[in-house]
Amino acid sequence: PFFSGNRYPSRYSVMLMLCIAVLAAVGLTYLLSRLSLSRLSVSRHALSRSLLVLVSGLFLVEHLAVPMPLSDFRIPALYERLAATPGDFTLLELPTGWRNGARVMGKSDILIMMQQWYQTAHGKRRLGGNTSRNPLYKFQYFSDAPLIGDLIALMNATPSADPNQNELPRQVEASFDELVARNRAVAPTVLDFLGVHYVTVHVEKTPPLLQRFVAEVLPLTLIEQWQGTDWSGAPATIDLYAVTPQPVQPQWSIELAATTSTLYLAEGWATLPWQGVRYATRPCATLLLDLPTHPGQLTLQLAEPATPTSATLNGASLPVGSPESPSTAAVNFTADQADALVDRFTLCADTATPLTALATPPIAEGWPIGGTGAAVAADLFARSAGSDVGNFAQILRNGEPVMPTARGYNLAAFDPAGALLATATFDTHLTATSGAALAAWVAALPAGSVVAGAVMDEASNALDDGAVQALAALGVATDLRGRFRWSHAFIGVKGAPPGSAIEQLSLLQPATVAVGVAVDAPTIYLGIRKVDYQMTD
């Protein structure tokens, strides 16, 4: 963590130069003492002055930067319009990025830092920014959210001469019509939910596909265009759009098993729903809601085994009632308690239930594994995120991680009873021998072994025939070669025919598979099927 947080070796140069300065002083002192003992006719003071001038000159030449690199920090005038607009709202800038000490999600460009500088003038909330040592969820929320996750992919859809770097633009272009259809219906809701009133498009930095997407999908009206030069002196155009306002809804419902429900999930929820229920994996879990500043009631449709015992809305404690049956709970709130731009509704439960107690396998042998004909007596979960959509991998047994993960294919083998046999990571991105090592590892497993696999970062570049055939021997159909930075997760069985394993492959989102209860935590606290909102008097 310490070294990865620094990111660049050059950042150690500060301490290194301080040490070298002391050594240089010792060296100069020694040199002066030697010169003073010599028989030169020049005085010691003259030698000292001459040597000081020489050394100082060398330092100046070494650090001389001509011409001096300068940036133009004048802020484009259209941000004055945003600064003068009253109200608490969000600005969506395209492209933008989320940056911390380890990675950049979104557009990796100086632009994302300049956008933070522009914020000092307009003072409005914005999506994107810079943070440090944040939990995985803080970035993954945006990557998994409807509309925002696809915008992130479009931000990097710039064609490249490098075949690997061109994989994302190629895939985005191939699925562009699907992206448009998927997002056209949800875009107004997502922008309204996040409080986005304005959108800026930095035209020169925006890939053509993203410009098309903005024009075809987002509910926007162009209100101003600024043209000038950017911080580097290059010509720049910024388009400012106003978002079409959405009417306040007196009632609505959220299905927490829906694919768009990730927009409403803050900390403490399972990655996947299971049997129509979203389970809390912490004693207190938070939903993000867009509540009108008006009195209202939230009704929760619950699932066993637990019910909420307390609730807070934007920090205010609220009583939890059961107006109809134990399978529902109701929370009433006042207008001043629902005054946030995005409301945080936190539910807490006292009862913890082990994941293994949530459901019983349908057959005596355990949970069936896809079309392999085999079963395993454990809940298995594998999640893969390529570099562009999270850069992580998880393999869990009964909600507990079974191994540390790293770049490439991460594999874990189990016997049919669910006991862990072996784990290994193969860097099939960089290491030429990793494919042979993967094939040897699979060959050494007993027949009938259950294997869960998840790619982290990138795993295609050094993948060879032997490794692909070894994965096929586990029932895997995917050949990852030529799929740079794709996510790939699977659960298969050694000896199963290719295509019979459970697997998922994706470039634009993480890939997730599960056998048994699809919850990525060892303990659950409550389950919710649906949230209903009703405005009250």
In a domain, 71, yes or no: no
Dihedral over Cα of 483, 488, 492, 494: its sign:
positive
Q: Which of 498, 497, 468 is nearest to 481 (CA)?
A: 468
CA distance 330 to 191: 27
In a domain, 362, yes or no: no
In a domain, 68, yes or no: no
Phi, psi dihedrals of residue 268, rounded to the nearest 5°: 100, 15
In a domain, 313, yes or no: yes
Task: Identify whether residues 82 and 202 lie together within a single domain.
Answer: yes
Say how many Å lie between the first and final Cα of the chain, rounded. 52
CA distances in angstroms from 279 to 316, 394, 498, listed in the order given: 23, 18, 33
In a domain, 4, yes or no: no
Is the distance from CB of 438 to CB of 470 less than 8 angstroms?
yes
CA distance 96 to 188: 19
CA distance 358 to 524: 9
Picking from 187, 217, 243, the residue at the C-terminal end of a domain is 243
Task: Identify whether residues 423 and 474 lie together within a single domain.
Answer: yes
Is the distance from CB of 491 to CB of 454 less than 8 angstroms?
no
- In the chain, the number of structural domains is 4
In a domain, 70, yes or no: no
Domain of 487, in residue numbers: 367-515
Number of H helices, E strands in the chain: 13, 30
Task: Identify whether residues 88 and 47 lie together within a single domain.
Answer: no
In a domain, 272, yes or no: yes
CATH of the domain at 285: 2.60.120
Q: How does pLDDT run along the chain (537 residues), one tens digit per residue? A: 556 666 667 777 888 888 988 998 888 888 777 776 666 656 667 777 787 788 888 888 888 888 888 899 999 999 999 999 999 999 999 999 999 878 899 999 999 999 999 999 999 999 999 988 888 899 999 999 999 999 999 999 998 888 888 999 999 999 999 999 999 999 999 999 999 999 999 999 999 999 999 999 999 999 999 999 999 999 999 999 999 999 999 999 999 999 999 999 999 999 999 999 999 999 999 999 999 999 999 999 999 887 889 999 999 999 998 756 778 999 999 999 999 999 999 999 999 999 999 999 999 999 999 999 999 999 999 999 999 999 999 999 999 999 999 999 999 999 999 999 999 999 999 999 999 999 999 999 999 999 999 999 999 999 999 999 999 999 999 999 999 999 999 999 999 999 999 999 999 999 999 999 999 999 999 999 999 999 998
In a domain, 73, yes or no: no
Picking from 243, 267, 294, the residue at the C-terminal end of a domain is 243
Task: Identify whether residues 490 and 390 lie together within a single domain.
Answer: yes
Task: Identify whether residues 97 and 199 lie together within a single domain.
Answer: yes
Strand partners, 410: 425, 454
Task: Identify whether residues 373 and 488 lie together within a single domain.
Answer: yes
CA distance 158 to 161: 10
Task: Identify whether residues 28 and 102 lie together within a single domain.
Answer: no
CA distance 233 to 417: 65
The number of C-alpha atoms within 13 Å of 290 and in the hemisphere containing its C-beta is: 21
Task: Identify whether residues 198 and 279 lie together within a single domain.
Answer: no
Task: Identify whether residues 171 and 208 lie together within a single domain.
Answer: yes
Task: Identify whether residues 302 and 339 lie together within a single domain.
Answer: yes
Task: Identify whether residues 156 and 18 lie together within a single domain.
Answer: no
Task: Identify whether residues 41 and 85 lie together within a single domain.
Answer: no
